[in-house]
């Protein structure tokens, strides 16, 4: 009698386990009465910290980047002057007063700006009327 009663009691639980095993595994199986409690779902990871907005681009002519000093060793090495008319024509015989940073292909300042970045002097601005030995005419 005890065995039959126990068997009848186990049928619903076994059916639930079988149904869950045959399902598409989308839902967790129902826990059997004597099964261990299901593990608690993993807590969602904390949301990522907000990424600060990129600082605004520095203005081309009056940004925070300091002007290149003619005495800077890199400037001296390339004969940079803030005014192309003061370029050392003896040392740089190919220099012409018509050449200036504003017409140089490496100059990154906006048209009409007094100064702008030059990749040869990262973090500094060069004068639009400046010049250095790396001058290369801006393509037309």
In Å, what is the CA distance from 40 to each residue of 28, 37, 66? 12, 9, 58
- Overall residue count recorded for the chain in this entry: 140
Q: How far is the CB of 130 from ligand SF4 (least distance, A)?
A: 5
In Å, what is the CA distance from 64 to each residue of 2, 57, 59, 96, 111? 89, 10, 8, 30, 19
* String marking each residue 113-132 x if it binds ligand SF4 according to CB under 6 A: -----x-x-----x---xxx
State which residue, 10 or 136, has the beta carbon closest to ligand SF4. Answer: 136
87 interacts with ligand SF4 by CB under 6 A: no
Q: How far is the CB of 64 from ligand SF4 (least distance, A)?
A: 19
* Tokens of residue 98, six digits: 């018509």
State which residue, 31 or 72, has the beta carbon closest to ligand SF4. Answer: 72
State which residue, 113 or 132, has the beta carbon closest to ligand SF4. Answer: 132
In sequence order, what are the residues at sequence separation of 6 or more whose Cβ sits closer than 8 angstroms to the Cβ of residue 58? Answer: 64, 65
Q: Which residues would be at the binding site for ligand SF4 (CB under 6 A)?
A: 80, 101, 104, 106-107, 118, 120, 126, 130-132, 134-135
């Amino acid at each position: 009698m005890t065995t039959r009663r126990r068997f009848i009691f186990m049928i619903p639980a076994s059916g639930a386990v079988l149904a869950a095993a045959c399902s598409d595994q989308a839902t967790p199986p129902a826990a059997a009465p004597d099964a261990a409690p299901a593990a608690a779902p993993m807590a969602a990871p904390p949301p990522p910290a907000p990424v600060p907005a990129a600082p605004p681009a520095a203005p081309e002519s009056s940004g925070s980047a300091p002007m290149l000093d003619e005495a800077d060793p890199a400037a001296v090495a390339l004969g940079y002057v803030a005014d192309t008319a003061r370029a050392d024509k003896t040392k740089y015989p190919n220099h012409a007063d018509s050449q200036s940073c504003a017409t140089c292909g490496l100059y990154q300042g906006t048209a009409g700006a007094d100064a702008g970045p030059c990749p040869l002097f990262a973090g500094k601005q060069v004068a639009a009327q400046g010049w250095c030995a790396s001058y290369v005419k801006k393509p037309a």
